[in-house]
Chains A and B, each alone.
Chain A
Amino acid sequence: DQQVKQNSPSLSVQEGRISILNCDYTNSMFDYFLWYKKYPAEGPTFLISISSIKDKNEDGRFTVFLNKSAKHLSLHIVPSQPGDSAVYFCAASWRDAGNMLTFGGGTRLMVKP
Chain B
Amino acid sequence: DAGITQSPRHKVTETGTPVTLRCHQTENHRYMYWYRQDPGHGLRLIHYSYGVKDTDKGEVSDGYSVSRSKTEDFLLTLESATSSQTSVYFCAISDPGTGIEKLFFGSGTQLSVL
Contact = CB atoms under 8 A, between A and B. Distances in A.
Contact of A42 (B41, B48, B107): B107
Interface in A73-106: 89, 93, 98-101, 103-106
In which size bucket is the chain A interface?
20 to 34
Q: Which of B44, B101, B106 has most chain A Cβ within 10 Å? A: B101
**B contact residues, range:** 20 to 34
B100 A41 contact: no
B40 A105 contact: yes
Nearest to A33: B100
A100 B94 CA distance: 10
B45 to A, nearest CB: 7
Interface in A23-70: 32, 34, 41-46, 49
Interface of B: 4, 31, 39-45, 48, 90, 92, 94, 96, 100-108
